[in-house]
Structure 1
């Protein structure tokens, strides 16, 4: 037996250690059965390099094919053998022009991948109307190879469903990342513009591979210094690195910048001097960055300055900046994450109340950027009522990729199902089938501008996102921003194959783990519609007891409203009536305690502890069951991962295993602390078979974490 083991070890040496830097663009050698077929289909490469984007496309194909197949195909100007790969546009490639492919309707970013015959030889062509489309097509072709997909009879026609697919970096100029769990900001502002770190190019490659075409470089809690000449030179340097990959830079603009760096006495959007200052500033920016995308703005929210400081509306503020950007083709992304200084009856109502009255008043180059839910990136929220409520104003959905409320970097929580959940939600704005996806892609209300934004989870850690599995959320965001109709499970499988292994014995269990992971986090953190139960400020760990402080709506007790009688926030017609902000069919369903989906029960209703759930259990027992179910799922993920060590390198396997151990410990903490607290209200015993928390409630309440990462400081 020992001899057999030694022979196996000699035949299959340990896999080479990897640190995750290559993301899903690893291009590791394929199994022989795939590599041989692909070599025959990529026997030569016909691709130009007359422009920076063409050069980037050719370089990526050579890099990818060499890694996957063991050798890069020779470059050629003509098809001289079977299996040529031809890449370009009708304008850049006489071969593609001669083929007469129907590239009309692809737009600037679309592409074709087609099996063709050229001069009697079978070939594959990647064709587009513009260079950036050809680059996207090249990444698609490499994705097929990485996943071991058949390429003999290709007929792919792709174009993005959304125009603006943008990462929002909450990065400060001192390199601190608000809600960042992967080290410092990757932007080394001090060394720019003279030192352009090679990771900037790799960042651009990774984003282009999933179709991301924009990046907001700085925090929405903006520092006006980013608009000064010194920083604009640095911004221009980054824009130059990103440009070949189709990525525009955007900046978060501080509304009070005319005062702070402009020497004006006011930032009133109706003041002529203020309007002139912003026009001049836009002209200056475009001299540095001719393809500058525009401004992202957080105004009159969480203490940020804005137009309401001067008695003006959000439309007045957005239109001020839109006027300055319009001559250059820039846009304004005006965030709808707002709440007033006055203590609200229900914070979930505020964005709708502030924005819907101004529908149609925003300039044509303004998008209102709306979070997926009305509170703040909770593990689960019903879709934001603004979707479908502003037919005359383009709405851009904002998703969080960094896991501020979902366990930071150490908890495995694949967010594809979460994104898919909100995209498929039906607003009923124009009858059944008025999904959020149809709102943001413009097909429902015929928006001229469309887009999706994701709050980035990228930092200076070698693996980019703090953990290997968090890379999947960056990947899923890009793929769904390109096409909101894609399937989260299919995306997870793509990512797993490209990032780890094509072996079905590895892929199937890992994808299964991923698909249930977010639901597990909901279970052990915020089951049945509970929300905002995290630690104050840093948002780390359970703290349903948080109360007091400057604002009631910054506390946990404001949201769960637990009493001896029951638990939950009444947003029905008998409570805050937040349900009235939804279309009538949705409002009737959410507002009826007998019809509301149980995952939103305590979001919309305050119900007795003995309320009978669909499982037959009373609410208290169902709540305890959900907490335990979440912990058990993490235990099963650990066991699954422990059995997969032979399929991937030891370095990455060990880090994931360590993080899953942290997740199990912290999931148990969430379960125990939450039960200990809520039992003081329910007054009911634990269900049979459920272990009591190992510590009294005061132990959990006394825990302090002054240096938890990612706080806004």
Structure 2
């Protein structure tokens, strides 16, 4: 008799729970194209709590940028509220225009002294109660319009807002080649259709501009840092100009990567020596030609004397000599030079992590005032975890800009979920030790407050391609979004940004947002655990950087070989960067270096980055290093399984198409995480000659099997 009673109770309980577990209606499939600008109708009862009375939209001014702001508001309000606003001034209207545009000056709005600043205010204008979106410039108004729409989309209360970017240049670096191939790209071909430009202007370019403007990005470098001189020829300049025309109303300037040997390759000169008058004149003439075609051209990005690229050192000159020559050509036009500090040379026996510091610190104060030295977040190469680059804080007389990698060259490509916002924040909040505690972080270097830089910048290597969802997978969009938000304000919260992205991209429901935010915030650490735990680095396969290959030791340049970085043998593992090793640690300020100097006090996430230790070294858990390494690999794989379960539980909140796409990628991630664990432990066991500890499973295959794997057609591989 109890079984029917229990059955009825269970049915009743499920009937009560189901409304709480699932949205009321089946969600329409989406393909990810709209990114975080979906503008889907506000659901009840949320809409009643923050629905604006947007019965009208009035624009004061008629510039292309104000039209872009007005068009976006029309698009957003129609999608969110289901109504197209009228154009007459009524109570509840939205009014946009610059702070100098009549009749807005009568309102006495105060803004920060920043041309991109904006304000959103509830005001009375001509006797009507309206929402005003204003700024010093049309671009500021555009940013305010996007901020207003984000407030509606995320369900926040409408309040008075004043904001301005903390960093002047917020730039995407496209590693796109003229043939459409994207180096380290995992989302299809280049979005720039160089073959059909300038005649074919893809509407996708406008949507690209909208997406970037919505997160405050104001510049884009169209071509690869490993550039072709052809990018500076007249036909390609006209193609770049066509793109610039589309991006301009959205406040986005176009930049180009410049090949340092272009005077030889294009100009027929016998040299590209930056101190040669003929070379200087060639660049002056070429720069004038560019500005005649693209009047608001931003300037040049340069990779020189790195990985075989030509540069001033080929002629016995310095990086400053090369950068200043280009800066002089750009100066009268208002352009800038972004000179990359990613340099290392096969004939330099020093620790690769030291080379940029050694080359650039002696040049501090010698660069022209329109030069930014662009520094990667770490001293090696966008690894799953790196300590911040020692150059930050060490060049007080030279503006440094950050180079983050949004595309995940070393973090599972577009397949694995790894939220880079958490990584960016980790770097930005790192204490450089070059000033007062709390005011000397990497972010304080970048926003200019530590050293008084007036020219500031942050760059991100783009993860954008022709894939319908732009980034190769839906969760990759979060990294593009987080980059823009943190470039605007490097002191922002990665967790808050992740929550906003989840609301904008999928669902405003807290039952979805909270677990997805938690998943995002732990995801990069998960990848580091199963790829490069405890501070190991550069263990990836040759050239393509796909999959584990800690055994490689036969490449011509020592620093291309994974064994160079882990130095594992029968006695121990790790790279000694203390005084007893390469002494790279001495490049950091004493306060920063102190936390890494002693293996007993080092954050174990960086342990093997700075120390070579015995396999028996006792870790904080009490386990020997070998056991800790094996169990950290294993923990990483288990966390991916947890991510899969979390995502599966969120099925009711996501349309079926995107839920399935993410689920499939998570399955791939789980499989590849196990591969990383098994292959890595098979190799390290072969050199340590130690058994796996309890809790670390036996590898599925032999070491020889893993060593035999080849990937000649991996995406994004420049060497394929």
TM-score w.r.t. the length of structure 2 is 0.96
Does residue 453 of structure 2 align to residue 444 of structure 1?
A: no
Aligned to 2:150: 143
- Measured against aligned partners, the alpha-carbon deviations of 1:366-413 in whole angstroms (never above 9, x if no partner) come to 000000000000000000000011000000000000000000000000
Q: 2:338·2:372 contact (CA, 8 Å) conserved in 1?
A: yes
- Measured against aligned partners, the alpha-carbon deviations of 1:557-587 in whole angstroms (never above 9, x if no partner) come to 0000001110000000000000110111222
Correspondence 1:163-312 to 2 at 5 A:
163-312=168-317
Take 1:343 and 1:350, find their aligned partners in 2: how far apart are those partners?
A: 8
Take 1:22 and 1:478, find their aligned partners in 2: how far apart are those partners?
A: 16
Structure 2: gaps spanning 5 or more residues: 1-10
Does residue 586 of structure 2 align to residue 577 of structure 1?
A: no
Q: Select the residue among 369, 372, 377 that pairs with 1:367.
A: 372
Does residue 479 of structure 2 align to residue 479 of structure 1?
A: no
Correspondence 1:178-577 to 2 at 5 A:
178-433=183-438, 434-577=440-583
Take 1:41 and 1:353, find their aligned partners in 2: how far apart are those partners?
A: 60
2:45 alignment partner, SS class: helix
Shift of 1:694: 1.5
- Measured against aligned partners, the alpha-carbon deviations of 1:275-300 in whole angstroms (never above 9, x if no partner) come to 00000000000000111000000000
Q: Please say which of residues 327-336 and 83-92 is displaced more in the overlay.
A: 83-92
| Closer, same or farther: CA 10–507 of 1 in aligned 2, 3 Å | closer
- Measured against aligned partners, the alpha-carbon deviations of 1:8-35 in whole angstroms (never above 9, x if no partner) come to 9999442111100000000001112333
Q: 2:61·2:101 contact (CA, 8 Å) conserved in 1?
A: no
| Closer, same or farther: CA 706–97 of 1 in aligned 2, 3 Å | same
Q: 2:50·2:156 contact (CA, 8 Å) conserved in 1?
A: no
Q: 2:170·2:216 contact (CA, 8 Å) conserved in 1?
A: yes
Shift of 1:39: 4.5
Shift of 1:431: 3.6
Q: 2:339·2:372 contact (CA, 8 Å) conserved in 1?
A: yes
Q: Please say which of residues 492-501 and 109-118 is displaced more in the overlay.
A: 109-118
Aligned to 1:678: 684
Shift of 1:302: 0.4
Does residue 78 of structure 2 align to residue 70 of structure 1?
A: no
Shift of 1:689: 2.7
- Measured against aligned partners, the alpha-carbon deviations of 1:199-224 in whole angstroms (never above 9, x if no partner) come to 00000000000000000000000000
Does residue 136 of structure 2 align to residue 126 of structure 1?
A: no
Aligned to 1:703: 709
Take 2:601 and 2:545, find their aligned partners in 1: how far apart are those partners?
A: 32
Shift of 1:45: 1.3
Equivalent residue pairs, number: 705
Please give the root-mean-square deviation of Cα atoms over the aligned residues, in Å.
Answer: 1.7
Does residue 118 of structure 2 align to residue 111 of structure 1?
A: yes
Q: 2:679·2:699 contact (CA, 8 Å) conserved in 1?
A: yes
Q: Please say which of residues 383-392 and 688-697 is displaced more in the overlay.
A: 688-697
Q: Select the residue among 24, 34, 47 that pairs with 2:36.
A: 24
Q: 1:35·1:68 contact (CA, 8 Å) conserved in 2?
A: no
Q: 2:258·2:300 contact (CA, 8 Å) conserved in 1?
A: yes
Q: Select the residue among 87, 96, 102 that pairs with 2:96.
A: 87
| Closer, same or farther: CA 379–131 of 1 in aligned 2, 3 Å | same
Take 2:108 and 2:592, find their aligned partners in 1: how far apart are those partners?
A: 49
- Measured against aligned partners, the alpha-carbon deviations of 1:427-452 in whole angstroms (never above 9, x if no partner) come to 11124231000011100000121000
- Measured against aligned partners, the alpha-carbon deviations of 1:509-530 in whole angstroms (never above 9, x if no partner) come to 1111111000000000000100
| Closer, same or farther: CA 11–348 of 1 in aligned 2, 3 Å | closer
Take 1:385 and 1:58, find their aligned partners in 2: how far apart are those partners?
A: 45
Take 1:431 and 1:12, find their aligned partners in 2: how far apart are those partners?
A: 53
Aligned to 2:105: 97
Shift of 1:42: 1.7
Q: 2:23·2:652 contact (CA, 8 Å) conserved in 1?
A: no
Aligned to 2:633: 627
Structure 1: gaps spanning 5 or more residues: none
Q: 2:364·2:397 contact (CA, 8 Å) conserved in 1?
A: yes
Shift of 1:121: 4.2
Q: 2:23·2:653 contact (CA, 8 Å) conserved in 1?
A: no
1:390 alignment partner, SS class: coil
| Closer, same or farther: CA 279–712 of 1 in aligned 2, 3 Å | same
Q: 2:565·2:575 contact (CA, 8 Å) conserved in 1?
A: yes
Shift of 1:113: 1.0
Take 1:637 and 1:32, find their aligned partners in 2: how far apart are those partners?
A: 30
Shift of 1:123: 2.3
Take 1:14 and 1:344, find their aligned partners in 2: how far apart are those partners?
A: 62
| Closer, same or farther: CA 351–372 of 1 in aligned 2, 3 Å | same
Aligned to 1:33: 45
| Closer, same or farther: CA 190–708 of 1 in aligned 2, 3 Å | same
